[in-house]
Structure 1
């Protein structure tokens, strides 16, 4: 498995992964598409296996009023065939070690059980 910062060449594969991981919901893919379209500040990484995007994590800016107060962690997804193999945990640990993330407050959005 290889972890890379997201580039524009990953976008379509990230959206497809989000749709597969969150079956029945287009919300997560649409959210990330809108953040990309509006050039909002994001920190994003993908996990690749044989050049296939198998996991994704994003951090978007959190605000209190107009002041930046940290990062939101969401969405995070792993392609279903790679569930329960430690891929998401490894990707998240990698992201949390990055200077841009580890030096600020982090807010987690999502189902608490997923992040345990």
Structure 2
């Protein structure tokens, strides 16, 4: 059984290890540390299996800037699962629970830079289909958005800007 709960301070070392091992480098763990300090509001959840923290997901504010307005949304990432627990549905549970938490705090737009084969199962579509583009030069199919309330992006378009800490990843 997998339990998804909010991250606690005592989880920080394990979350760091999970990100280091899942990504094979410290960049994402450093990003989580930086975002915890300066990105508000944020959502940070952990997955517990057999009393061990085995996965982590983070959502932080992003801005959607257009000529006439700035809209706040949330960016999903990083999301990581210990390698020995991957392909067991833990990442999917983290994403589903995380998206529900985004809705609970009234954030109905979530963007992700991620695997185009993975995220569509959670309602993500290429952001370009909704008039959004990333501040980063990334493949169109890898930059996706989920409207947690259908039509919330209708008539909107803009440039999505991430927290400055993402520039170091």
- Structure 2 length-normalised TM: 0.61
1:39-50 matches, cutoff 5 A = 40-50=40-50
Q: CA deviation at 1:51?
A: 2.1
1:97 match: secondary structure: helix
Is residue 51 of structure 2 the alignment partner of residue 51 of structure 1?
yes
Q: Does 1:80 align with 2:83?
A: yes
* Distance (Å, rounded) in 2 between the aligned partners of 1:15 and 1:33: 8
After superposition, the C-alpha distances for 1:5-62 in whole angstroms (9 at most, x for unaligned) are 0111111110110001001x21110100111233643101100112211111110001
Output the CA distance in 2 between the equivalents of 1:82 and 1:100.
28
Which has more radius of gyration? 2
What is the Cα-based RMSD across aligned positions, in Å? 2.1
Structure 2 unmatched ranges of 5 or more? 121-169
CA–CA distance in structure 1, aligned partners of residues 51 and 110 of structure 2: 29
Partner Cα separation in structure 2 for residue 41 and residue 68 of structure 1: 14
Query: Could you tell me whether the CA contact under 8 Å between 2:55 and 2:80 is conserved in 1?
Result: yes
Residues 61-90 of structure 1, C-alpha deviations (whole Å, 9 max, x = no match): 011359452100000111111111111111
Greater than 6 Å deviation, 4+ residue runs: none
Structure 1 residues 102, 77: closer, same or farther in 2, change over 3 A? farther
Is 1:19–1:26's contact at 8 Å kept on the other side of the alignment? yes
Give aligned pairs, total. 115
Partners of 2:64 and 2:73 within 8 A in 1: no
Identify unmatched segments of 5+ residues in structure 1.
Answer: none
Mapped to 1, the partners of 2:105 and 2:79 lie a distance apart of 15
Q: 1:115 aligns with which of 114, 119, 140?
A: 119
Structure 1 length-normalised TM = 0.85
* Structure 2 contact 61–73 (Cα < 8 Å) conserved: yes
